[in-house]
């Protein structure tokens, strides 16, 4: 595939003038069916996508829609928070952020992304979960020679610049918090083995007895609230009920807490609960959640920085930002 296919290239292949190609691209009338087809064939053969900048300049329209909305700082969700941070970082540098939404289920989403990248010619691209783990997306970006930064926990660090949360310290603080409150029987509900292992090791380091820890694996596909309720039901049925539970997401913790109230338990008196994310839900439930917050705003800013000042050597750079452990009233001294 060639790097930058132009209108002219298409015109040459189709054996028509550039203007005719332009007519086809813009769906103007006055094009015979036969030439239209010839042009369409040439376009898809070359993978042509019009250059947005050139188009905008000539047609004096931008093909961009703006949306004016307020800065929302508190109570946000993961992706929204990343977007906010990136928008601000861009603005400070005279850039703008464009969201490329991808549904990974749909066939053709990768192709659509490629088309979009072709025409937008981004200065750089930030890749979040789950695209940051998607081989096809990363391959595509590299093939198109587009600078990109992955955001979130990633393996193969050499592959590109990345910005990740560092959970070790936060999880250690959490472990010490629970142990110092007197918790011994602690349940860990996890989706990723990585985080389970980190927390397990932190708890042991904080003095917990490995034999008293319980691990419950949960599917990422499941709705977190339902998962939290099922988790609660499982825990309440246990002969030796833990006094504290860590869940992999605030939503799951919320489901757990709801189930507990419903069944006459009092949180945190009967069960301490720890969430993850510090999203909107963390403060909406009662009691508000002890949780862990990723520095999403700073992570997004760091990603923009990496994108904008190129590495001196060719090596992939990595920025690691510590998560923040937040104590609220969903954890307390166990009653037993």
Partner DNA sequence: ATGAAAGCGCTAACAT
Partner DNA sequence: ATGTTAGCGCTTTCAT
Answer for which of 2, 27, 32, 66 binds DNA (CB under 7 A) is 32
Nearest to 291 by CA among 301, 280, 300: 280
Beta bridge partners of residue 293, listed in sequence order = 324
State both tokens at 10: 């298409």
Between CA 332 and CA 290 the distance in angstroms is 10
- CB 121 to DNA: min, Å: 9
Residue 16 binds to DNA (criterion: CB under 7 A):
yes
Site for DNA in 50-69 (CB under 7 A): 50-51, 54-55, 57-60
CA 116 to chain centre: 20
**Is residue 130 involved in binding a second copy (CB under 8 A)?**
yes
The listed partner (DNA, a second copy, none) that binds 45, CB under 5 to 8 Å by sort, is: none
Integer Cα distance of 163 and 320 in angstroms: 6
Report 135-174 residues binding a second copy (CB under 8 A).
Answer: 137
Q: Please count the residues of this chain forming the interface with DNA, following the rule CB under 7 A.
A: 29
Contacts of a second copy in 289-328 (CB under 8 A): 304, 307
Contact with a second copy (CB under 8 A): which of 114, 251, 278, 297?
A: 251
The backbone torsions φ and ψ at residue 102, rounded to the nearest 5 degrees and listed phi first, read: -135, 125
Residue selected from 1, 29, 67, 210 as contacting a second copy according to rule CB under 8 A: 67
Cα–Cα distance for residue pair 94/189, rounded to 1 Å: 43
Among 262, 259, 187, 266, which residue's Cα sits nearest to residue 226? 259
Which one of a second copy, DNA, none interacts with residue 99, CB within 5 to 8 A by kind? Answer: a second copy
- Taking CB under 8 A as the rule, does residue 98 contact a second copy? yes
DSSP 133: G
**Beta-carbon neighbour count of residue 67 at 10 Å?**
4
- Angle, CA 227 vertex, CA 266 and CA 291 arms, to 5°: 60
Taking CB under 7 A as the binding criterion, the range among 46-54, 105-113, 136-144, 215-223 that sits at the site for DNA is 46-54
Partner touching 18 among DNA, a second copy, none, CB below 5 to 8 Å by kind? DNA
Alpha carbon distance 292, 250 (integer Å): 9
Site map (CB under 8 A) of a second copy, residues 220-249, x = contact:
---x-x------------------------
| Using rule CB under 8 A, residue 69 touches a second copy | yes
Dihedral sign for Cα 236, 186, 321, 221, please. Answer: negative
The residues of the shown chain that bind DNA, judged by CB under 7 A, are: 4, 6-8, 16-20, 22-23, 25-26, 29-32, 34-36, 48, 50-51, 54-55, 57-60
């Amino acid at each position: 595939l060639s790097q930058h296919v132009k209108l002219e290239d298409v015109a040459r292949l189709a054996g028509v003038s550039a203007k005719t190609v332009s007519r086809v691209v813009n769906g103007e009338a006055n094009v015979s069916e036969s030439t239209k087809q010839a042009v369409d064939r040439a376009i898809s053969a070359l993978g042509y996508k019009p250059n947005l900048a050139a188009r905008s300049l000539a047609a004096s329209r931008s093909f961009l829609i703006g949306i004016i909305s307020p800065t929302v700082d508190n109570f946000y969700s993961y992706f929204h928070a990343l977007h906010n941070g990136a928008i601000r970082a861009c603005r400070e540098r005279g850039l703008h952020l464009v969201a490329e939404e991808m549904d990974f289920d749909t066939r053709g989403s990768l192709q659509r992304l490629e088309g979009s990248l072709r025409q937008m010619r981004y200065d750089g691209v930030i890749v979040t979960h789950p695209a940051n783990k998607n081989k096809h997306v990363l391959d595509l970006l590299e093939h198109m020679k587009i600078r990109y930064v992955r955001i979130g926990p990633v393996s193969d660090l050499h592959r590109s610049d990345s910005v990740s949360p560092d959970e070790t310290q936060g999880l250690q603080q959490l472990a010490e918090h629970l142990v110092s409150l007197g918790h011994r029987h602690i349940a860990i509900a996890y989706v990723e083995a990585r985080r389970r292992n980190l927390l397990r090791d932190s708890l042991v380091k904080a003095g917990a007895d490995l034999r008293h820890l319980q691990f419950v694996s949960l599917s990422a596909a499941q709705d977190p609230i339902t998962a939290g309720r099922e988790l609660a039901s499982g825990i309440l049925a246990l002969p030796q009920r833990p006094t504290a539970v860590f869940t992999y997401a605030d939503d799951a913790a919320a489901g757990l807490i709801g189930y507990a109230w419903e069944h006459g338990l009092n949180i945190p008196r009967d069960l301490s609960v720890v969430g993850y994310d510090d999203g909107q839900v963390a403060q909406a439930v009662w009691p508000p959640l002890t949780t862990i917050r990723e520095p999403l705003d700073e992570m997004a800013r760091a990603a923009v920085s990496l994108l904008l000042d190129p590495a001196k050597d060719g090596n992939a750079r990595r920025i690691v930002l510590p998560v923040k452990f937040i104590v609220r009233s969903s954890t307390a001294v166990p009653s037993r």
